[in-house]
Amino acid sequence: MLSRNLAIVLLLAASGTALPVVADIAVIVNPANSTNLTTDELTRLYTGRSSALAAVNIAESSPLRGQFDEKGVGRSSAQLKAHWSKLVFTGKGTPPLELATEAAVIEHVAQNPNAIGYVDASSVTDAVKVVLTLN
């Protein structure tokens, strides 16, 4: 019994090192927000085609940012930056606010009824509501 548990632990440890750790990403809104969010609408919010909610990003230095750009918006970070530079340098849009940490994103979303953000699914607290989980 013990040896079988040990085998499972070893197996998990092995898989953990062999594969990059890619966490589920929770898309979060203010608890007061009753939005039913689709992935399509999420893309629209993070590409500036919708301003129904005020999107916030986590800083580029966080690995979560690149994962969200791919999974949530369907573009690489470089492609999204090229997209936003089209809007910025024609005065047509301002990219989402960037916050340094997941805690700052949770705090911002908890305090702004109109805000939308994302954090690692394991970081979610009661202060915010999860509307989508990307995996």
Partner 1 sequence: MKKNLLAMSLVIALIPVTANSSTTINGFASIKAGITTGSDEQLYGYDDTLDFKNESLIALQVKSDLGEKLSVTAQLLGRGQDDFDVGFEWAFISYQLSDNMTINAGRLRTPFYKYSDFKDVGYAYDWLRVPQGVYGLGFDSIEGLTFYRTAQLGNIDSTLQLIFGGYDGTASLSGTQVNATIDNVAGITWELAKDAFSARFAYLIGKTSIETTSVSLAPDFTVGNLYQALAANGLSPLVTAIDIDDESSNFTGIGLTYDDSDWIAVAEYTRVEVENSFVATQKNWYASLGKRFNSFTPYISYERENNDAVVSIYQPYTAVLPPQLLVPVQGLVASQERDASTWNIGVRYDFHPSAAFKAQFSSEDNDTLGQRNGLLAFGVDLVF
Q: Which of residues 12-51 bind partner 1 (CB under 8 A)?
A: 40, 49, 51
Contacting residue, 7, 32, 85, 127, with partner 1 by CB under 8 A: 85
- Residue 96, token pair as written in the block: 């989402």
Q: 111, 11 in Cβ contact below 8 A?
A: no
- Considering the rule CB under 8 A, would residue 59 count as an interface residue with partner 1? no
In the complex, minimum distance from the CB of residue 112 to partner 1, in angstroms, rounded to a whole number: 16
Window of 10-18, 22-30, 88-96, 97-105 that interacts with partner 1 by CB under 8 A: 88-96
- Considering the rule CB under 8 A, would residue 91 count as an interface residue with partner 1? yes
**C-beta closer to partner 1: residue 63 or 121:** 63
Q: What b/e sequence results for 56-91 when a residue is b if at least 16 CB atoms lie within 10 Å of its CB, and e otherwise?
A: bbbeeebebbebbbebbbebeeeebeebbeeeeeee
Amino acid identity at 116:
I
Number of residues binding to partner 1, judged by CB under 8 A = 21
Per CB under 8 A, residues contacting partner 1 are: 40, 49, 51, 60, 74-79, 81-83, 85-86, 88-92, 94
